[in-house]
Amino acid sequence: MSLRIGDDAPNFTAQTTEGEIDYHQWLGDSWGILYSHPADFTPVCTTELGRTAQLKDEFAKRDTKVIAVSVDELDSHHEWVKDINETQNTNVEFPIIADVDKNVATLYNMIHPNASTSATVRSVYFIGPDKKIKANITYPASTGRNFQEILRVIDSLQLTANYSVATPADWKEGQDVIISPSIKQEDVEAKFPKGHKVVKPYLRYTPQPNK
């Protein structure tokens, strides 16, 4: 199954390092990051899970729950977490799914047979409070993820979900944003009281509305 932006995020029950969960119930009204790892005790994954743990406060600030999935067993996960905590100087406090039967990996199309018939690629799914896929990023197993980009995408998704704006290339939190083309020019001043700049009729900038 190929999941696309706007699709419902499939629900599942699974054993994790934090106990059994029903994914949708666990997510509640929060935003979610669901991301896959090819295997336990692998070097790139160790750095990624460590980085996730180090960014705990950043995800919490964005009301975003993170959960990882690997196709290895629960006992293996627990042993691996010890290594992650030691080598990355952190404390993993988010759940890691034991997906031995590859149920979650299959639901979220994380196994790409042309790359590997058993190990997952590095997929990241951004899931909204409405349990729909808002964005996804996929890397090969050899390329570690950029967590500043993951945070940037969350910031953009949350901003654009609440205001009639889009974020331009290389946008970062606090920078100007683009006014949606659906907003008529005569309505711009009332809707964006911080002011705006017209570069072209279709390209209008305004300060970030929630700053």
Q: Which residues are catalytic?
A: 45
Q: How buried is 84 (Cβ within 10 angstroms: 0-12 exposed, 13-18 middle, 19+ buried)?
A: buried
| Cα 55 from Cα 75, distance rounded (Å) | 25
Q: Are 4 and 129 in contact (CB under 8 A)?
A: no
SS3 state at 185: helix
Taking the C-alpha atoms of residue 90 and residue 79, their distance in angstroms, rounded to an integer, is: 15
Rounded Cα gap, residues 143 and 137, in angstroms: 12
Which residue, among 111, 115, 42, has the nearest Cα to 76 in the 3D structure? 42
- Comparing CA positions, the residue from 65, 77, 60, 104 lying closest to residue 16 is 77
